[in-house]
């Protein structure tokens, strides 16, 4: 089985959206920078190629692309991520075609790219919704772990409903929230390089930023989940070049 991988950098999230073709003003492109797929951008129609352009602020190296919470059909072609040195996409343009996957696309690119301007382009003229929708866009980078997690893990649903009580402990405010899938994955025998990746993940994302965990780096579309940490558990060094880590994660909806 291929090794697991984590994508903890999302340069799209921190960039500046420059343009979005055929944007529905009620569903702006900036929603693609929010980690929740409950917010989403929509186009006004499906005619021609639809594009979204982001300025990362500087040339940054990325090797992963994710399009989460989309409504593309299997006939969408091509789905492309392009990078360039200028906002007009005329200088040193590179292009990666993504493989379609229903609802969520997770893909490690064939080669790392270093570009400042990123353009997502999708053509899906037969989409029955008459618009294209995207929840979250990820243009990022991370690192592989040298060991798969151990066979045992915790799994279940977390209920994040918020309750407030009066001074006399009477319940007076309840904000219902849906249950979300949660896991605790145990990693044993990680090397020093993997420990550096995990510590960078925790420093970058904490418990509030989303990231991707792919349990099979060779099959990202079928093994990946958009998650956040529910606990800040640092890796533990058991002895030289041997670390353990409990990854407490919850799926982001």
Note whether 158 and 182 are within 8 A (CB). Answer: yes
Is 41 found in the same domain as 137? Answer: yes
User: What is the CATH classification number for the domain harbouring 85?
Assistant: 2.60.120.260
Last residue of a domain, one of 142, 174, 191: 142
Joined together, the tokens standing for residue 243 give 């670390």
Is 215 found in the same domain as 136? Answer: no
The CA–CA distances, whole Å, from 48 to 22, 65, 114 equal 10, 22, 28
Is 129 found in the same domain as 37? Answer: yes
Query: Hunting for tokens 């792919």 — which residue is that?
Result: 214
Residue 148 inside a domain? The answer is no
How many domains is the chain built from?
A: 2
Joined together, the tokens standing for residue 192 give 């020093």
Longest dimension (CA), the chain: 66
Is 110 found in the same domain as 20? Answer: yes
The DSSP secondary structure of 31-83, one letter per residue, reads GGGSS-TTS-EEBS--SSEEEEEEEEEEEEEEEEEEEES----TT---EEEEE
Is 202 found in the same domain as 138? Answer: no
Residue 51 inside a domain? The answer is yes
Is 119 found in the same domain as 64? Answer: yes
Residue 147 inside a domain? The answer is no
**pLDDT for residue 151:** 65
**pLDDT for residue 215:** 92
pTM of the predicted model, to two decimals?
Answer: 0.90
Note whether 103 and 60 are within 8 A (CB). Answer: no
Residue 39 inside a domain? The answer is yes
With b for 16 or more beta-carbon neighbours within 10 A and e for fewer, the 230-247 pattern comes to beeeebeeeeeeebbbbb
Mean pLDDT (the chain, rounded): 93
Last residue of a domain, one of 104, 121, 142: 142
**pLDDT for residue 165:** 77
Is 158 found in the same domain as 133? Answer: no
Last residue of a domain, one of 142, 170, 194: 142
**pLDDT for residue 85:** 98
Query: Hunting for tokens 């994660």 — which residue is that?
Result: 249
Is 118 found in the same domain as 185? Answer: no
Is 162 found in the same domain as 138? Answer: no
Under-50 pLDDT residues of the chain: none
Is 23 found in the same domain as 110? Answer: yes
Residue 181 structural domain: 153-251
**pLDDT for residue 157:** 76
Is 87 found in the same domain as 60? Answer: yes
Is 117 found in the same domain as 220? Answer: no
**pLDDT for residue 150:** 77
The DSSP secondary structure of 139-187, one letter per residue, reads EEEEEE-SSPPPS-EEEEEEE--EEEE-TT--EEEEE---EEEEEEEEE
């Amino acid at each position: 089985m291929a090794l697991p991988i984590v994508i903890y950098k999302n340069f799209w999230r921190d960039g500046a959206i420059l343009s979005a073709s055929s944007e529905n003003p009620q569903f702006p492109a900036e929603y693609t920078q929010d980690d929740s797929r409950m917010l989403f951008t929509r186009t006004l129609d499906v005619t021609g190629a639809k594009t979204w352009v982001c300025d990362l602020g500087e040339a940054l190296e990325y090797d992963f692309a994710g399009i989460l919470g989309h409504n593309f059909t299997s006939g969408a072609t091509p789905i492309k991520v392009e990078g360039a040195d200028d906002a007009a996409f005329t200088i040193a343009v590179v292009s990666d075609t993504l493989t379609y996957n229903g609802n969520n696309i997770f893909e490690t690119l064939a080669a790392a790219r270093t570009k400042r301007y990123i353009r997502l382009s999708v053509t899906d003229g037969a989409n029955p919704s008459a618009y294209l929708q995207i929840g979250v866009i990820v243009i990022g980078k991370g690192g592989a772990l040298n060991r798969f997690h151990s066979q045992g893990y915790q799994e279940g649903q977390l209920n994040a409903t918020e309750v407030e009580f009066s001074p006399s402990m009477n319940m007076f405010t309840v904000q219902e929230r849906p249950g979300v899938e949660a896991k605790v994955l145990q990693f044993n025998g990680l090397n020093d390089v993997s420990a550096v990746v995990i510590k960078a993940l925790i420093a970058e994302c904490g418990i509030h930023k989303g990231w991707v965990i792919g349990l099979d780096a060779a099959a990202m579309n079928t093994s990946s989940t958009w998650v956040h940490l529910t606990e800040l558990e640092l890796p533990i060094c058991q002895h030289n070049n041997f670390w353990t880590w409990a990854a407490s994660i919850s799926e982001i909806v």
